[in-house]
Structure 1
Amino acid sequence: TLVPGLLQTREYRRAITWATSPDTPSKEVDRMLDMAAKRQSILDREGFRFEALLAEGVLHYQVGNPEIMAAQIQSLLEKCEQAEIRVVPFRAKNPCGLIASPFVLFSFPPLLTSKLQEPPVAYVEGLAGDLYLERRTEVSMYSQEAEKIRHVALSRSASKNLMLRALKEWQA
């Protein structure tokens, strides 16, 4: 229901922070936003690959105001060069992914010296806290779910077209 953190604009993230934690001091919010911006620089790292599979609702749920939403969608369109961003449309034939909480699958490159590779990890966000899953069976469940979502997601170009239509709606 939200744009993934690595793809959020500063103002979109600020609106989420104020909505979920309205008592947070401004300086603390700014510090959190600065940290998020530093994390986003990983998108520019050579060899880093990021794939985002978004529900269409992400383009339509208002976070902040229409200007923030328009800027966020414009940013998504620009980040299509750095990341693979695909959208699962409202009318997808199979509503897979709806039952899963937002999740991220991490895979790691081999270590430079030993060439050993860390096993993949699934990160699940939740209202009561976040969870890192490392057991092979649990990570496999999320990998399989991601594969199902990929099958119903629009192509990159169709996703861009959907984002462009949503952008025009927010700019109207």
Structure 2
Amino acid sequence: MTSPSSSVHQARKALGQRLREIRLDAGLTARALAALAGWHESKCSRFESGSRSPSEPDLRAWALHCGALHLAEDLVATARGINGMYVEWRRMERSGLRQAQESVLPLWERTRRFRIYSSWLIPGPVQTAPYIRALLTSIRDRRQLVDDVDAAVRVRMDKQHIVHKGNHRFAIILEESTLRYRIGGPEVMAGQLRHLLVAAALPSVSLGIVPLGADRSGLWPVEGFFLFDDVQANVELVSAHVTVTQPHEINLYAQTFSALADLAVYGGAARDLITAAIDSPG
């Protein structure tokens, strides 16, 4: 797997290449453009190489001095999209957890095929309210956020309607360890696992579990990710939320999901693992 933030780097390079083409079409050298904009010449080079992100005023100045003012708003929109690909949690959650939950609703609604891999927790579409509350309370406390956990829990639960309605399909692969981590305590976890048994029987859900004893010589556990159709992957890091859109990276995540799915067990074997976790003391 490549770095989950490499999509951001590639997108910045692509924007830089576009800026270079606009400058060349205008018949300007980097030095001449910098002089017109009142910049140091190296600023143009950094923008074009993708090593520095241009601000919105920078992009409008670039378009103005290259005689391409009609392209300014498109360049700004592209840059905003890139900035949204790697978002620190402190920025995403600055107004609380509810808004962060609501921000993904349009993506969830338009996605038809979800592929979800998790190596550490039960994923959102099949979580119970007590499990969600335990997760979000921990996040609130760890990141010192405003207390809107109740509202955030309601939003996340409301999002689950797409599991039961509409033409949405969920392929979920979990590491067996996710069944054993006691999030919210034994009672909350037991309730979550019982709900997982019910969710696994839904027509819209395919659930696979990679056993602890699986041969991991070829593929070890990786970072958890969501694949939304074939157009986007989301990855959660310790510090940030990453959106992957580069086609070759989407393909890498799809290949990884397929390989993990081959390691998983399904049906009765998966239910046995869940039941064993429910019955496990602690």
Where on the TM-score scale, by shorter chain, does this alignment land: which range? 0.7 to 0.9
Contact 1:73 1:167 in 2 (8 A): yes
Q: Give the 5 Å matches for 1:14-33.
A: 14-22=133-141, 23-24=144-145, 26=147, 28-33=148-153
Alignment of 1:46-125 (within 5 A): 46-82=166-202, 83-94=205-216, 96-98=219-221, 100-107=222-229, 119-125=230-236
- Is 1:135 the counterpart of 2:255 in the alignment? no
Q: Assess if the C-alpha contact under 8 Å between 1:53 and 1:153 holds in 2.
A: yes
Secondary structure, aligned partner of 1:69: helix
Regions of 4+ moved over 3 Å: 23-26
- Larger relative contact order (Cα-Cα within 8 Å, sequence gap ≥ 6): 1
Distance 2:232 2:146 in 1: 33
Match for 1:34 among 154, 157, 164? 154
Match of 1:115 in 2: none
**Structure with the larger helix share:** 2
Size of the aligned set, in residue pairs, is 158
Q: Is 1:120–1:134's contact at 8 Å kept on the other side of the alignment? A: yes
* Cα deviation, residue 81, structure 1: 2.1
Normalising by structure 2, we get a TM-score of: 0.53
C-alpha distance in structure 2 between counterparts of 1:140 and 1:68, whole Å? 36
Question: Aligned to 1:50, what secondary structure does the other structure show?
Answer: strand
Mapped partners of 1:67, 1:51: distance in 2: 27
Residue 43 (1) aligns with residue 154 (2): no
Task: Give secondary structure in 1 for the equivalent of 2:122.
Answer: coil
After alignment, is 147-156 or 68-77 more displaced?
147-156
Residue 121 of structure 1, CA deviation? 1.3
Rate the CA distance shift 1:61–1:90 in 2: closer, same or farther, 3 A: same
1:133 and 1:156 mapped to 2: Cα distance? 31
Q: What percentage of aligned pairs have identical amino acids?
A: 27
Unaligned runs of 5+ in 2: 1-119
- The gaps in structure 1 that reach 5 residues or longer are 108-118
For residues 110-154 of structure 1, the C-alpha deviation after alignment (integer angstroms, 9 at most, x for no partner) is xxxxxxxxx521111111111111111000000000011011001
RMSD: 1.6
Distance 1:12 1:38 in 2: 15
Amino acid at match of 2:275: L
| SS of corresponding position for 1:105 | strand
Q: How does the TM-score come out when normalised to structure 1?
A: 0.85
Matched, 1:151 2:273: no
Larger Rg: 2
Distance (whole Å) between structure 2 residues aligned to residue 85 and residue 54 of structure 1: 8
Q: Contact 2:131/2:183 (CA < 8 Å) preserved in 1?
A: yes
Separation (CA, whole Å) in 1 of partners of 2:236 and 2:134: 18
Instruction: Provide the rounded CA distance (Å) in 1 between the counterparts of 2:154 and 2:197.
Output: 22
**C-alpha deviation, 1:51, in angstroms:** 1.1
Q: Specify the code of the residue in structure 1 equivalent to 2:210.
A: V
| Alpha-carbon distance, 1:167 to partner | 1.2
2 CA distance for matches of 1:156 and 1:124?
27
